[in-house]
Amino acid sequence: MTDSPHPALTTLGEDEVMLRDVVARFAQEKIAPRAAAMDHAGKMDPEIISACFDLGLMGIEIPGQYGGGEMSFFAAILVIEELAKADPSVSVCVDVQNTLVNNALLRWGTEAQKARFLPRMVKDTVGSYCLSEASSGSDAFALKTRAALDGDHYGINGSKSFITNGAAAGLYIVFANLNPEAGYTGSTAFIVERDMPGFTVGKKEDKLGIRASSTVELAFQDMRVPAANVLGEVGKGYKIAIETLNEGRIGIGAQMIGLAQGALDHALAYVVERKQFGRRIADFQGVQFQIGQIAAEIEAARLMVYNAARLKDAGEPFIQSAAMAKLFASQVAERSASKCVELFGGVGFTREYPIEKYYRDAKIGSIYEGTTNMQLQTIAKMILDAQR
């Protein structure tokens, strides 16, 4: 009897194993063959997005009464991981939809808002989460986008930068400041629809990695949003954003472990075929040491991500675990992808093989949804606070 190659998977329930296997087949059979072309074009194939909706991957936690899968947060993490093995760009599209946009609507939406918007998120509408601005990255609440009440509407003016899913979305969670003098407590979240007058999708960023994922600027010029589209309460934007991002970081961790595993899977297929000095390079001890190190780090990161997701589902404190999982998984993804490029040798530095794409895609993990330094600060602060 041999050990399982993925011990963490022994904790999965029957439904979770079935979901993981269905998504794994979809990712390898439908997404992987198109990943290079989508990366080169800098655009996701619309058929892939449609297939994600058809498979129920865009509304995993949404209750059945709205047409959703009514599954756990952990189930969404499994989906994100499997998609990232084939293409992290597709993974982050599904990640933002589930862990940020749907999550915010489920937690903070009114019954009327849920009834109106959640069925669309399940069926055909991509969501986008709009917090970052050119002058507010890690300082996410130095918001310059302004909102002002005008009768039964709010007028919104300003812009957003580096917005994932921005070009493909039909619904946006937009954060704006109603009272700049109040600091972060002046921020409010709004549900914005793409066809609202005064809303414009701007420049698409030409990125190093996850190129098929649309990352764009958004502009709001006297955009009128119904007061009924306020998400949560006026002035609670900070709370909504922080609590949603705490969960979203687990999703980024899942994306990074999927990416790292995908890179390793390609490297393993190569080293057992490639021969040098009359031997498979997989037979050289130095290569075996590198494979063992990569595999061990991926498994450690996987356990951290799964643990954070399980804590979240159980209603237990998870913020520190989420920050640690996101931090470590992003570091492991970079190291793993880099080592896998080296295992390919010279061809790993070319686009003849898919491995260089994983290397480019990995870098974003240490930047979005909280930089490495911000995760370290969160972890240290929580540890130190517990000593008081």
Q: Which residues belong to the active site?
A: 369
Q: How far is CA 71 from CA 19, 59, 64, 98, 314, in A?
A: 10, 9, 9, 11, 13
Give me the phi and psi of 131, to 5 degrees please. -115, -50
Which pair of tokens denotes residue 270? 């190569």
Give me the phi and psi of 161, to 5 degrees please. -130, 155
Spatial neighbors of 323 by CB under 8 A, at least 6 apart, are 249, 370, 375, 378, 379, 382
Residue 263, CB-side half-sphere exposure with 13 Å CA sphere: 33
Q: How far is CA 151 from CA 148, 154, 224, 237, in A?
A: 10, 8, 11, 21
Helix (H/G/I), strand (E/B), else coil: 224: strand
Query: What would the 3-class secondary structure string for 308-361 be?
Result: HHHHHHCCCCCHHHHHHHHHHHHHHHHHHHHHHHHHHHHHHHCCCCCHHHHHHH
Cβ–Cβ under 8 Å, residues 80 and 96:
no
Which pair of tokens denotes residue 205? 């960023």
DSSP state of 100: I
